[in-house]
Structure 1
Amino acid sequence: MQLSVVEAFVAVCELGSVRDAAAALHLTQPAVSKRIAALETQLGHDLFDRVGRGIAPTEAGRAFLPHARRLLAEMEDGQRALDSLSQQVSGRLGLALSHHVGLHRMPPVLRRYVRDYPGVDLDIDFLGSEAACDAVARGHMELAVITLPQPPRPDLIQREVWADPMRIFVAHDHPLASTAAPQPRHLADYPALLPEPDTTTYALVADALAAHGVTFRMRLASNYLETLKVLTAVGLGWSALPASIRDPELKPLDMPDLALQRSLGAVYHPGRRLSNAARAMLQALGLD
């Protein structure tokens, strides 16, 4: 069985279209369709239902997908094992970064890494932390440096690099900015600007406020902290942002009873051999 036909099958399953799979694999659509047809012939099962312009895996396709992913992952692990014999730090490194970590934590790390390991082809993708974890779990990315999920995902190894304390911020003309000794209960009176409810950061804030018996209402959600910072500065609501933010248009509220702290760090798969390039990145992050 040729790996190229398996790769085409997995790409169509995950991207949901032959066109998108062809673009991702740098192939033509007929070439992808030919590979899928060859795999179906070899396996003796139809792997996709084709209705109009849509395509979706059949029951057989869904059953074969995890095996196909493991096959590709094993091949990639084997290549890494061979590459590691030379101790040379080179080749591709698939690295997923959350936007906040990529903008505010990683630049000095990447600057040193690029200088020290010019033979590495860094393939960086900016993803939400949850999507980055999924990309590592599926083998699309070798490493992710993100907001670490809480509770930890059992299918991944996660290692803290930075503690990231957070505070509640408002605009200077927001009513809470002039409130003497603001308390967590006061946040219930005003709309919140936070990441999406399925994120670690949202859960952190919601759990901390729930511990004080506080429920809050959302005005809008965005997973881009830079966006939340701007919307908070114009007075649309309060937000929980990294305490390290220095913005003259924002005022941090002093709420010592409200403990908010994220953990930022690296995530990788426990069952896959790390490449020399990945191990060098962990060392650059201060992780042995």
Structure 2
Amino acid sequence: MDSEQAYAQVLGGDVELAVTTLGPTEAPLLATPVWDDPLRFVVAPDHPLARMAKVGLADIAAHPAVLPDPGTFTHRIVAQAFARRGLSLQLRLTTNYMETIKMLVSVGLAWGALPLTMLDAQVQVLPVQGVQLSRQLGYVVHGGRTLSRAAQAFIALLRGDS
């Protein structure tokens, strides 16, 4: 499920914890970062942006994007990078499945932002100067509830406790 849905499930008591992209968190939810997930701007190898030696956000903004839905934490991270420079996004399509975004980018439909772990020869990373995108992944629990032993053991594994 999407991160935002996972937050709601933990808040409502339907699940004990969620491993998710972390976003803004308010009590009674508690979010704990486990690892950083750097993002890179990517295009198809034959995309016009792929031929540029230096790429700025204004160059990228001139082309359509495929990103997660605007309500997602990941979309907000990308959109804020453009908004800070007074640029807006041209969304061609949205989907919350990163593999689908990668496929749509790889066939030249649009540019996207993908985690480093998903990069391969199907997409080309754009050499964007001065922009570092990253999201934090971790777990969310309800601060007002006691976790089961299974949940506690799982969290210990996530933290790398012996």
Q: Above 0.5 in TM-score? A: yes
SS of aligned partner of 1:285: helix
After TM superposition, give the deviation of residue 244 of structure 1 in Å: 2.4
After TM superposition, give the deviation of residue 287 of structure 1 in Å: 6.2
RMSD: 1.1
C-alpha distance in 2 between matches for 1:238 and 1:161: 28
Contact 1:161–1:285, Cα closer than 8 Å, also in 2: yes
Aligned to 1:220: 93
Say which of 47, 50, 53 aligns to 1:180: 53
Contact 1:209–1:258, Cα closer than 8 Å, also in 2: no
After TM superposition, give the deviation of residue 277 of structure 1 in Å: 0.4
CA offset digits 1:203-253 (Å, max 9, x no partner): 100101111221111000000000000000000000011022232110011
Which AA in structure 2 matches 1:173?
Answer: D
C-alpha distance in 2 between matches for 1:198 and 1:154: 20
Contact 1:165–1:261, Cα closer than 8 Å, also in 2: yes
Which AA in structure 1 matches 2:109?
Answer: L
Which AA in structure 2 matches 1:144?
Answer: A
Alignment of 1:1-288 (within 5 A): 127-149=1-23, 151-286=24-159
Which AA in structure 1 matches 2:9?
Answer: A
- Higher Cα radius of gyration: 1
What is the TM-score of this pair, normalised by structure 1? Answer: 0.54
Unaligned runs of 5+ in 1: 1-126
Q: Whose relative contact order is higher, 1 or 2, with alpha carbons under 8 Å and at least 6 apart?
A: 2
CA offset digits 1:113-169 (Å, max 9, x no partner): xxxxxxxxxxxxxx10000010000000001000001x2233310000110110100
What is the TM-score of this pair, normalised by structure 2? Answer: 0.95
Identity %: 44
Richer in helix (by share)? 1
Q: 1:168 to 1:251 in 2, by over 3 A?
A: same
Deviates more, 1:208-217 or 1:162-171: 208-217
Unaligned runs of 5+ in 2: none
Which AA in structure 2 matches 1:271?
Answer: G
SS of aligned partner of 1:145: strand
Contact 2:54–2:129, Cα closer than 8 Å, also in 1: no
Q: 1:199 to 1:284 in 2, by over 3 A?
A: same
C-alpha distance in 2 between matches for 1:235 and 1:250: 9
Which AA in structure 1 matches 2:32?
Answer: R
Aligned residue pairs, count: 161
